[in-house]
């Protein structure tokens, strides 16, 4: 059986880095964003989406799953942050 330990640990590092990056973006004072708040929100939600995709594909092992289930979960982690982003930016 193939050992996926290296892949799992690389994804872990990737998730931590993305978490710290989104936290950093969120900590930037609005004074410095100067009308770029929408970009910051988009950036944070994009990082969330990327993290979700890694959990679905690697940790849940849906990369090897039937396409229906893989696409269902991937659609969830893509559409939910996207919809939230649209609500925050457009309204």
Distance CA 49, CA 6 (A): 22
One residue of 38, 45, 74, 78 binding other proteins per CB under 8 A: 45
Q: Judge whether 41 and 28 are in contact, CB under 8 Å.
A: no
Distance CA 61, CA 54 (A): 9
| Min dist. Cβ of residue 65 to other proteins (A) | 5
Tokens at residue 79, please? 């559409």
Residues that bind other proteins (CB under 8 A): 1, 3-5, 8-9, 11-12, 15-16, 19, 22-23, 25-27, 30, 41, 44-45, 47-48, 51-52, 55-56, 58-62, 64-67, 69, 72, 76-77, 80-81, 83-84, 87-88, 91
């Amino acid at each position: 059986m193939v050992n996926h330990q290296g892949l799992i640990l690389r994804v872990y590092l990737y998730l931590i880095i993305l978490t710290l990056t989104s936290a950093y973006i969120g900590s930037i004072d609005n004074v410095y964003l100067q009308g770029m708040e929408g970009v910051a929100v988009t950036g944070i939600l994009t990082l969330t989406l990327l993290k979700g995709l890694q959990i679905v594909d690697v940790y849940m092992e849906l990369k090897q799953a039937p396409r229906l289930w893989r696409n269902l979960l991937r659609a969830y982690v893509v559409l939910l942050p996207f919809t939230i982003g649209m609500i925050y930016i457009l309204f």
